């Protein structure tokens, strides 16, 4: 970068001097005392500087960011000071990677035995789960050079450019061995090839395959790829000898969440009342990146509130901010719309309470993000298996907002868009992946789905219709509770778990007294 700036500065000086010299030819009164030969020399130098500056820019374009001049000068930065201590949870993955680390640290031991250690590791799983962090930690643990490249950096319009970038990346890795090449979003170059596929992309993938095959055990270079879509990858890439070690990095479980939160609150002043375990319980399904974000957001909120310590109030606000979006200050929601939103959210709250799915923490009609209201739920336990009726109940709760609108106003609104998407997704999974429909106990493959979507849609509709009519009948039977939740929401804008329990219990008691 520095070099480029200096060249540019000289070029600028050259342009100004040349301009003055040229002007002096036409305006003799300027009286510039420079010989004709010197004038020519200055102009020629400016032209050379111009071409040199341009070539510097082109060089940058031909290389991924990691290989640019800027990065080459920062070799120190390429040796991450991140270790496994910074990666919370994921114990089994760290254990699995120990062998790779041992191979890099004691490569002679393996070479002596003629052992070949897998050179390609593929991390797959949802975003933000720590794939990049793990790769950096492997580099940190082995004091290797960490070369980061994103798959999309290799995707180019011009044939051959992507392949050249791959070659340069591997050349540099070999030069600076021991090194870890980390290719994020590898699906951008590694998707399955087919007859109509893009020539440039194929060339890039072919080059990657050649490089993976090309380096031998004398070079301590490990390639780690990461993707959220392993299903899209070309089989050639996953073949033994290439990315043959597949490691799934999923969302953290409760224990891992606790540890991740501990790592990210280590340097933050926390109030003694804060219970990290409780925060971990409230954040089921969130990724490591989202947890890190919550810890950071809580600190920002504390600063905003002029506090010098972070309390559970800031953490709750941070969780809500991440789960439900940014609170809209001074929203311009019409009173009529507010009534509809209150009934809609009350419908969700009431039906969730009756079918007893997840724990409701809060119902609110304060707009956040795109939503005019929301129900904040925390699953009461870590679940991996769901029964068919539990899935149906989830859909029923999702459709309860729309059902409440229909029941109260005999008219439906656009407010249920997000609920409908989520409900349909669950129903589609029930039909296509879990064999929970009259199509039979089988998982449906992509080709069947593509050619028989009408029959699949009918099955999905059967499920959502059933859930919707269940939601409607729960609302009809408990309309008084619905109205009370809605009117409390209109008064207070937000109802917490205890207030909802109180309303629910009050009516239950009244109905038992009446019978
Ligand atoms: P993507 O697939 O979107 O590239 P990723 O899986 O590579 O995401 P990272 O970039 O490694 O995710 O994680 C983002 C941030 O989340 C990290 O910098 C770190 O702050 C935090 N994080 C994620 N997992 C963990 C973990 N297990 N321990 C500590 N921090 C974590």
User: Mean pLDDT across the stretch 108-132?
Assistant: 83
**Residue 416 maps to a domain:** yes
Q: Point out the least confidently predicted range of 64-78, 121-135, 245-259.
A: 64-78
End-to-end CA distance of the chain: 82
**CATH number, residue 316:** 1.10.8.60
- Determine which residue's CA is closest to atom 9 belonging to ligand 1: 130
Q: Indicate if 78 and 53 belong to the same structural domain.
A: no
User: Are the beta carbons of 144 and 79 closer than 8 angstroms?
Assistant: yes
- Determine which residue's CA is closest to atom 16 belonging to ligand 1: 289
Most confidently modeled of 2-11, 29-38, 43-52, 248-257? 248-257
* pLDDT value of residue 388: 93
CB neighbours of residue 20 within 10 Å: 14
pLDDT category of residue 326 using cuts at 50, 70 and 90: low
Q: Indicate if 131 and 241 belong to the same structural domain.
A: yes
Of 219, 248, 277, which residue is a domain's last?
248
pLDDT category of residue 73 using cuts at 50, 70 and 90: very low
**Residue 65 maps to a domain:** no
> Out of 156, 211, 345, 405, which one is annotated catalytic?
345
Task: Give dist(CA 215, CA 227) in Å, integer.
Answer: 23
Predicted confidence (pLDDT) at residue 71 exceeds the cutoff of 60: no
Predicted confidence (pLDDT) at residue 503 exceeds the cutoff of 80: yes
What does the mean pLDDT of the chain come to?
A: 82
**CATH number, residue 177:** 3.40.50.300
* pLDDT value of residue 399: 96
Q: 186 C-alpha vs ligand 1 centroid, how far in Å?
A: 17
Please report, for residues 5, 21, 37, 233, the alpha-carbon distance to residue 44 in angstroms, rounded to integers and kept in the order given.
20, 12, 10, 52
**Residue 66 maps to a domain:** no
User: What strands lie across the sheet with 120-124, from one edge to the other?
Assistant: 145-150, 179-184, 221-227, 120-124, 243-248
**Residue 63 maps to a domain:** no
Q: Which domain holds residue 113?
A: 71-248
Of 271, 300, 324, which residue is a domain's last?
324
CA angle 4, 10, 14 (to 5 degrees): 140
Q: 436 C-alpha vs ligand 1 centroid, how far in Å?
A: 35
Predicted confidence (pLDDT) at residue 460 exceeds the cutoff of 80: yes
Q: Indicate if 456 and 359 belong to the same structural domain.
A: yes
**CATH number, residue 424:** 1.20.58.760
Q: Indicate if 434 and 307 belong to the same structural domain.
A: no
- Determine which residue's CA is closest to atom 13 belonging to ligand 1: 130
Dihedral angle over CA of 462, 467, 471, 476, nearest 10: 40
User: Mean pLDDT across the stretch 56-82?
Assistant: 51
Q: Indicate if 295 and 423 belong to the same structural domain.
A: no
Predicted confidence (pLDDT) at residue 342 exceeds the cutoff of 90: yes
Q: Indicate if 244 and 268 belong to the same structural domain.
A: no
Predicted confidence (pLDDT) at residue 361 exceeds the cutoff of 80: yes
Q: 270 C-alpha vs ligand 1 centroid, how far in Å?
A: 23
Q: Indicate if 38 and 110 belong to the same structural domain.
A: no
User: Are the beta carbons of 367 and 327 closer than 8 angstroms?
Assistant: yes
Of 324, 349, 381, which residue is a domain's last?
324
Q: Indicate if 366 and 472 belong to the same structural domain.
A: yes
Q: Indicate if 316 and 219 belong to the same structural domain.
A: no
Q: Indicate if 47 and 92 belong to the same structural domain.
A: no
* pLDDT value of residue 222: 86
User: Mean pLDDT across the stretch 35-43?
Assistant: 76
Residue scoring higher pLDDT (227 or 42): 227
pLDDT category of residue 75 using cuts at 50, 70 and 90: very low
Q: Point out the least confidently predicted range of 115-129, 385-399, 435-449, 463-477.
A: 115-129
Classify the C-alpha dihedral 215-217-223-229 as positive or negative: positive
Bond prior to 178 in cis (omega within 30° of 0): yes
Q: Point out the least confidently predicted range of 177-181, 391-395, 423-427.
A: 177-181
**Residue 152 maps to a domain:** yes
Task: Give dist(CA 145, CA 66) in Å, integer.
Answer: 11
- Determine which residue's CA is closest to atom 31 belonging to ligand 1: 288
Q: Indicate if 199 and 343 belong to the same structural domain.
A: no
SS (H, E, C) 431-457: HHCCCCCCCCCCCCCHHHHHHCHHHHH
Predicted confidence (pLDDT) at residue 76 exceeds the cutoff of 70: no
* pLDDT value of residue 64: 44
Q: Is 5 exposed, middle or buried (0-12, 13-18, 19+ CB in 10 A)?
A: exposed
Q: 288 C-alpha vs ligand 1 centroid, how far in Å?
A: 6
**Residue from 81, 140, 289 whose mutation best tests the ligand 1 pocket (most atoms within 8 A of CB):** 289
Domain count, the chain: 4
Question: What letter would DSSP give residue 333?
Answer: -
Q: Which residues pair with 368 in a beta bridge?
A: 327, 371
Q: Indicate if 239 and 269 belong to the same structural domain.
A: no
* pLDDT value of residue 11: 76
**Residue 159 maps to a domain:** yes
Per DSSP, the chain holds a count of helices (H) and strands (E) of 21, 8
SS (H, E, C) 482-496: HHHHHHHHHHHCEEE
Question: Is 95 a residue of the active site?
Answer: no
* pLDDT value of residue 381: 62
**Residue 94 maps to a domain:** yes
**Residue 202 maps to a domain:** yes
User: Mean pLDDT across the stretch 336-360?
Assistant: 89
Q: Ligand 1 — pocket residues by CB below 6 A?
A: 87-90, 127-133, 184, 226, 228, 260, 263, 288-289, 292
Predicted confidence (pLDDT) at residue 488 exceeds the cutoff of 90: yes
């Amino acid at each position: 970068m520095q070099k480029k700036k200096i060249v540019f500065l000289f070029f600028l000086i050259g342009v100004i001097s040349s301009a003055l010299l040229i002007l002096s030819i036409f305006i003799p009164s300027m009286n510039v005392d420079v010989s004709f030969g010197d004038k020519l020399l200055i102009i020629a130098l400016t032209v050379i500087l111009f071409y040199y500056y341009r070539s510097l820019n082109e060089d940058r374009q031909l290389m991924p960011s990691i290989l640019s001049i800027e990065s080459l000068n920062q070799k120190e930065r390429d040796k991450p000071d991140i270790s496994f201590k910074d990666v919370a949870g994921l114990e089994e993955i760290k254990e699995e990677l120990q062998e790779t680390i041992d191979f890099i640290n004691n490569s002679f031991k393996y070479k002596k035995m003629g052992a070949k250690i897998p050179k390609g590791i593929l991390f797959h799983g949802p975003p933000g789960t720590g794939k990049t962090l793990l790769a950096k930690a492997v580099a940190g643990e082995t004091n290797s050079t960490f070369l980061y490249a994103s798959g999309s950096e290799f995707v180019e319009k011009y044939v051959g450019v992507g392949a050249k970038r791959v070659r340069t990346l591997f050349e540099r890795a070999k030069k600076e061995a021991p090194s870890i090449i980390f290719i994020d979003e590898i699906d951008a170059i590694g998707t399955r090839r087919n007859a109509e596929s893009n020539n440039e992309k194929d060339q890039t993938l072919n080059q990657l395959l050649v490089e993976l095959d090309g380096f031998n055990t004398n070079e301590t270079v490990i390639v780690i790829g990461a993707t959220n879509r392993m299903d899209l990858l070309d089989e050639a890439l996953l073949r033994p000898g290439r990315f043959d070690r597949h490691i799934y990095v999923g969302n953290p479980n409760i224990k891992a969440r606790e540890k991740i939160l501990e790592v990210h609150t280590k340097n933050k002043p926390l109030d003694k009342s804060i219970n990290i375990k409780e925060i971990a319980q409230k954040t089921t399904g969130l990724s490591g990146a989202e947890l890190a974000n919550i810890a950071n957001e809580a600190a920002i909120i504390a600063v905003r509130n002029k506090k010098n310590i972070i309390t559970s109030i800031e953490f709750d606000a941070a969780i809500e901010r991440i789960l439900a979006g940014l609170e809209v200050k001074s929203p311009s929601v019409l009173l009529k719309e507010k009534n509809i939103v209150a009934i809609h959210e009350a419908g969700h709250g009431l039906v969730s309470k009756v079918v007893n799915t997840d724990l409701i923490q809060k119902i609110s009609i304060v707009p956040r993000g795109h939503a005019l209201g929301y129900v904040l739920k925390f699953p009461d336990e870590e679940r991996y298996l769901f029964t068919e009726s539990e899935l149906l109940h989830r859909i029923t709760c999702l459709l309860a907002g729309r059902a409440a609108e229909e029941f109260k106003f005999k008219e439906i609104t656009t407010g249920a868009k997000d609920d409908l998407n989520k409900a349909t997704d669950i129903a589609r999974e029930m039909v296509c992946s879990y064999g929970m429909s009259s199509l039979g106990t089988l998982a449906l493959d992509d080709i069947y789905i593509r050619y028989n979507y009408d029959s699949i849609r009918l099955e999905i509709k059967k499920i959502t219709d059933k859930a919707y009519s269940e939601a409607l009948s729960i609302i009809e039977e408990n309309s008084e509770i619905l109205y009370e939740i809605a009117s409390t929401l209109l008064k207070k804008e937000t109802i917490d778990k205890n207030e909802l329990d109180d309303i629910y219990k009050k009516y239950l008691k009244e109905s038992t007294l009446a019978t």
